[in-house]
Structure 1
Amino acid sequence: MHVMIRWKVKPDQVERELESLRAVYEDMRAIRPEGLRYATFQLDDGVTFVDVAEMTGGPGVLRQVAAFQDYRATLDERCDEPPAVTVLRQVGAYRFP
């Protein structure tokens, strides 16, 4: 399963968002959950973020990442636009995992 998640945080919450995301990735590197490939991008406007994830075992793999659970529990209070999830169906790729 490949998904894209897009959300927008309040301008005064950008630094808090970045700190929270750093904690999530630190936890992921420590735990190394099987079946998970995950990347987060900050768009040019500085307040919009996009995740691209591959979860071979489904989204339940994120339950292993405690920092992600903490992050998600507080995300709504930082958002101007809540996360929108889109399932991606790959039709081609070149050197893209």
Structure 2
Amino acid sequence: MKHMVRYKLKADRVDENERLARAVYEELAERRPTGLRYATFKLEDGVSFVHIASHEAPDGSNLLTALPAFKAFVAGVRERCEEPPVTVGISEIGSYGFFGS
């Protein structure tokens, strides 16, 4: 399953959001879960973010949402947002040099 999440933060919450997102990547680096690809991007306005995730666990579980650091990240995301997260499913048509292709 592949999906994208986008949202816009309150300007005074950007640093907090980035700190929490980095903690997710630190935990991913430690645990190195297989079948998971995840990327976070800050848009040029400095307050909008996009996350792209792909997970392929044999049992259908989402390895990302099971991480304690990710749970901490999403716990207060709505309070940090000016525009709440919107999640959409995405289908890859092609890619070059992205997500290991």
TM-score, normalised relative to structure 2: 0.87
Q: Which of 72, 75, 78 does residue 73 from structure 1 map onto?
A: 75
CA contact under 8 A between 1:31 and 1:65: conserved in structure 2? no
- Following superposition, the deviation at residue 94 of structure 1 comes to 2.4
- Following superposition, the deviation at residue 59 of structure 1 comes to 5.7
Q: Which of 84, 87, 90 does residue 86 from structure 2 map onto?
A: 84
User: Secondary structure of the equivalent of 2:89?
Assistant: strand
Q: Which letter does structure 2 place at the counterpart of 1:74?
A: G
Count of matched residue positions in the alignment of Structure 1 and Structure 2: 97
What is the distance in 1 between the residues matched to 2:66 and 2:31? 8
What is the distance in 1 between the residues matched to 2:65 and 2:88? 20
User: Secondary structure of the equivalent of 2:98?
Assistant: coil
Q: Which letter does structure 2 place at the counterpart of 1:92?
A: G
What is the distance in 1 between the residues matched to 2:92 and 2:65? 25
Extract unaligned runs of 5+ from structure 1: none
- Following superposition, the deviation at residue 93 of structure 1 comes to 2.2
| Cα deviation code 1:14-33 (max 9, x no counterpart) | 11111111111101111112
What residue is the counterpart of 1:19 in the other structure?
Answer: 19
Change over 3 Å in CA distance of 1:63–1:44 after alignment to 2: closer
Extract unaligned runs of 5+ from structure 2: none
**Runs of at least 4 residues off by over 4 Å:** none
